[in-house]
Amino acid sequence: MALENLRDLYQQVILERYKKPRHRGKTEPTDRYQKGHNPSCGDTIELTLKLSPAGDQIEDVKFEGEGCAIAMASADLMAEAIRGKTLDEALQMVQRFQTMMQGKDEFPPELRKLNVMQGVSQFPVRIKCATLTWHTLKAALEASNAQAVGVVSNE
């Protein structure tokens, strides 16, 4: 597939997720809550997580917020990808996403949907839009309860 067509495909997926997100809302119950903000674009995101009874696995994750197509699509794709993952696995995915945004890595086949965001790494000003949801997730996972510790800013 020509690189240009591939870019078009990525854009289509991003726009489709933006228009028809599959994981918007709030989890019930909410075991973790975290708000994140990306001042450079104005994206705001609120993540809620439902954890397993032992607290070591993500059973559900949803997001609410306002922002550009990249920020919202990234949140929706992330929510899908981290469902069922352990907290450790999710934190490793945060790390891998950041490395991917530096153009150095990508996700394995079972998580290839996330690689749609790879194209964003070519547009430095938009990287913060794509990583906002992952920064917010990291803060949510590192919190010890459902109380939001202020707002995460990725500035």
Chain contacts with Zn ion (rule: CB under 5 A): 41, 43, 68, 71, 129
- Which token pair is 32? 């973790």
Nearest approach in angstroms of CB 44 to Zn ion is 10
Nearest approach in angstroms of CB 126 to Zn ion is 7
With residue 46 as reference, give the H or E element that holds it.
strand 43-51
Give the C-alpha separation, 128 to 141, whole Å.
19
Give the C-alpha separation, 114 to 117, whole Å.
6
Give the C-alpha separation, 6 to 148, whole Å.
39
Give the C-alpha separation, 153 to 99, whole Å.
19
Nearest to residue 39, comparing CAs of 124, 123, 132, 118?
132
Give the C-alpha separation, 146 to 44, whole Å.
19
Nearest approach in angstroms of CB 62 to Zn ion is 19
Nearest approach in angstroms of CB 10 to Zn ion is 16
